[in-house]
Chains A and B, each alone.
Chain A
């Protein structure tokens, strides 16, 4: 899978120029808007008339609006209407009359200030095509519900949580089935009853099945807690090698240098899973997402994140 770093220097320059051009357009627009607003304000102050005082009463005779400044014909619709009112009879759920009317409200998703962050759906085609995941045992979980991690920042959003493909569990499940059937297949062949009394035979069976349970627990937890997290700021690799050894490593998105995905083997090709190697400039040089589903999609998503990170830098939206 080619990455943005594979592109030639010229292409990168072109991309950068395009982004810069866009930035310049936005800034020019803002300046024009600012000039317009200033012009309107000066016009408004020139044409301002003394406020007329009205006393309005409702059917019960309770004064509702004490003062209202009536706009003149010259003032446009956007001009502010100031109400000094008694809020007693106004239901709480009704929007306050003192709130400023917005002529053209902008959606929250669009960045209005340089520090605003864009929603991941805006820049990621991968997330746009995926539904937020509710699956407990899922291996590919875009924007999962109820998942958080220890070092998560306040405004950090988990975009993708990955585990090894469920098909890798087939090996230990098969071994478990064989181990569970073994006493019925092997014990009749071994004359254990000759050397062990009946009660010892019973406890031998109990010990055997406890051993099988331990194997199942170890294998399941090893799969379940081996998690890769991609947030809007970094990638986190939580490895759970055994019950007494775990490692958590992380790298910022901006530190990612290269992403390589590999799909190998019959099962890998058939079930669409593979390894993703991520080269970083962080302390841990290489991250490996082992046997994760849809490696091509994940690589594409990482590339989108990297582009967005660069764009944030250029536009000065870095938090």
Chain B
């Protein structure tokens, strides 16, 4: 095992798992994962808006204005988080 040519590689020593040892591909993969997750959340926020508007069409309740405002605010926050992650990570 000690004579293996990969014995001192970051994968074998475990340095790959430390923040300093993160490779370029690992970092890129991590960033892509976060961005995909946040992008999915933006899609979810759009579906929520669509659903709230659709349900308002189906049944009218006094809370609909509040729900609409909340749904739109929720989409804005999710877009902000996505952009922040895209710029910072």
Q: Which residues of A contact B (CB under 8 A)?
A: 136-137, 145-150, 193-197, 199-200, 203, 206-207, 210, 213-214, 217, 221, 224-225, 227, 229, 238, 240, 243-244, 246, 248
Contact = CB atoms under 8 A, between A and B. Distances in A.
Contacts of A197: 19, 22
Question: Chain A binding site: helix, strand, loop or mixed by DSSP?
Answer: mixed
Contacts of A136: 61-63
B81 A210 contact: yes
A147 B34 contact: no
Nearest to B66: A136
B33 to A, nearest CB: 10
B76 interface: no
B55 A240 contact: yes
Interface size range on B against A? 20 to 34
Nearest to A134: B62
B59 to A, nearest CB: 5
B58 to A, nearest CB: 5
Contact of B51 (A145, A207, A227, A243): A243
Given A194-B17, A207-B34, A243-B48, A150 B58 contact: yes
A214 B58 contact: no
Given A199-B89, A206-B81, A244-B51, 12 more contacts: A137-B63, A146-B62, A147-B59, A150-B57, A193-B19, A195-B19, A197-B22, A199-B88, A207-B37, A224-B61, A225-B55, A244-B47
Contact of B74 (A145, A194, A217): A217
Interface in B7-54: 17-19, 22, 30, 34, 37-38, 41, 44, 47-48, 51-52, 54
A238 B58 CA distance: 9
B3 interface: no
12 contacts: A136-B62, A145-B62, A147-B61, A150-B58, A194-B17, A197-B22, A200-B34, A206-B81, A207-B38, A221-B52, A244-B47, A246-B58
Interface string B57-76: 11111110000000000100
A194 B18 contact: yes
Nearest to B55: A225
A210 B85 CA distance: 13
A221 to B, nearest CB: 7
Contacts of B19: 193-197
Contacts of B88: 199, 203
A210 B78 contact: yes
A136 B63 CA distance: 7
B59 A213 contact: no
A137 B52 CA distance: 16
Contact of A203 (B22, B58, B85): B85
